[in-house]
Structure 1
Amino acid sequence: MMLIGAAVVVVALYLLRDVSAVIYRAIVPHTSSLPGVSLIADGGLLVLVALFGVLAVQMWRTRSPYLGDLLMGGFGVVVAYALSEVVKVFVGENRPCRAELTLPDCPAVSDWSFPSNHSAIAFGIATAIVLASTRVLSPVQRGLVIGLAALVGLARVLQGAHYPHDVLAGAVLGSAVTTAVVVMLVPWARRRARARRRPAPRTEQPGAEDAAEAVEQRPGW
């Protein structure tokens, strides 16, 4: 149901592309040349990846039971990215930096716009971290992680690489797919882990009890 709801939202956002284009034309001419906008988009994504790695190492060192949740969330990010690429090819929306404005740093023609990969990855990683770190990070820290993902998406609009609806669709896709993967796979992974920790039943060789009784009945024992 979560994935169906996310699909409905993504389709609704695409249908609002005309409104999104108006917002784009009103904002981007004033922001695309701002210094550091591209750095915020790419650097913020790298920071999220680094936070995911640091948290994974910390959970591994402390033998946290939530390490599996985090790793399953990482797998969900990969699934979300792959799905966003499929949607990109299926929709084939031209980049706004080519259709609305002419910007020098516009991606290649075959690199479609809807949805935003940066947003899908950023919000996927943020979702994975938040779901797995309820006992590791404070609510403020988890809020900062989500805020960083939102900053990455906003920067992609400000630099002119995406329409606003591209970023929102990527955010919905990344969060929903990552959450769905965690919800579906974490219970399975925990059952497998418990099965591996469960000691094997003790088996005795045939006649072992008779042999033990014979030894006890020997003289001198």
Structure 2
Amino acid sequence: MVAATLTVPVAVLAYLVRVQAGPVVDLDQSAVRVGTDLTREQPVVRALLLTWQTAFQARWVNLAVTLLCLWVWRRHGLRTRALWAFVTLMLTWGLNLVVKTGVQRARPVVDEAVAYAPGFSFPSGHAMNTAAAGLVVTALVWPLLGPRARVAVPLVAGLLVVLTGIDRVLLGVHYPSDVVAGVVLGFAVAGGSYLGYVGWSPVHPTDLPARS
């Protein structure tokens, strides 16, 4: 129910993007223009943004999360939780491609572009994948965390999502609406999947930390 509710505003936004609604398009284009002007004037910032773009590509983020899943499974015995995390992230990755193909929004066109990216623009794959990965990782390691870590891990995950969204706009490869849609969809898929997982198996022996 929560996931379905979150997808409603994304569907509305996708429709507005599809029909080129004036206010949305104007805001998006203004933000990209301002962002790329700023990036173009700051070579160091541009270099950092391009590095962030590469590091947070879905393939590298998902590889890191997959290795974490294996570690949580083998070291702590959280088999079903690790499997849930892996499957959820892979489904999110695939869903992004499906939605992009359905909406078919072109990338921003920027004079003196500071970066290039292939494919369609809506929703942002970087933002969607990072949002899903942040929630998946938080849920995955939650049983292993102490009180302080249960505050720190979600905060760090949220910060990475925000910085990734900013990166996409400042590089001019995504509009703000692409980023917003990506983040909401990422949280919706991962959150809905976790609620389904908990409802299916609220207490499972392989979800308990292994005793040393």
TM-score (norm 1): 0.72
Number of equivalent positions: 188
8 Å contact 1:44–1:149 — kept in the other structure?
no
Number of the residue aligned with 1:6: 6
Question: What pairs with 1:1-221 in structure 2 (closer than 5 Å)?
Answer: 1-14=1-14, 15=16, 16-32=24-40, 34-45=46-57, 48-49=61-62, 51-65=64-78, 67-96=79-108, 98=109, 100-103=110-113, 105-108=115-118, 111-137=119-145, 138=149, 139-188=151-200
Number of the residue aligned with 1:204: none
C-alpha displacement of 1:189: 5.5
In angstroms, what is the RMSD of aligned CA positions?
2.6
Of the structure 1 ranges 117-126 and 130-139, higher mean CA displacement relative to structure 2 is found in 130-139
AA of the residue aligned to 1:22: S
8 Å contact 1:72–1:186 — kept in the other structure?
no
Distance in 1 between the 2:26 and 2:5 partners?
A: 22
AA of the residue aligned to 1:132: L
Distance in 2 between the 1:50 and 1:149 partners?
A: 17
- Sort the Cα spacing of 1:26 and 1:73 in 2 relative to 1 into closer, same or farther, 3 A: same
Q: Which of the two has higher C-alpha Rg?
A: 1
Distance in 2 between the 1:17 and 1:134 partners?
A: 40
Task: Name stretches of at least 5 consecutive residues in structure 1 with no aligned partner.
Answer: 195-221
Distance in 1 between the 2:2 and 2:164 partners?
A: 24
